[in-house]
Amino acid sequence: MRAWDELSKELLGSEKFTHLLMKENPELSSKYWLVPEGVKLKIPQVSETKSEELPPWKE
């Protein structure tokens, strides 16, 4: 069994996309806190954008 944030990091590259992974799989996210092995997940398309980067004064 794996937590949603672990799966997000493994599949999408970051835990910050956990909500998108759960939103893409509502029938599973409402049923499981820990996702059982062998369950097939729908993987959302995600992309890093300039708006998600820190402004120059915060780098």
pLDDT per position as a tens digit, 11-54:
999 999 999 999 999 999 999 999 999 999 999 998 865 445 55
In angstroms, the CA 32 to CA 59 distance is 37
What are the beta bridge partners of residue 9?
none
Q: How far apart are alpha carbons 41 and 44 in whole angstroms?
A: 9
Side-chain half-sphere of 57: how many Cα atoms within 13 Å? 0
What's the pLDDT score for residue 54?
58
pLDDT score at 25: 98
Q: Provide the pLDDT confidence category of residue 59 given band limits of 50, 70 and 90.
A: low
Q: CB of 15 within 8 A of CB of 5? A: yes
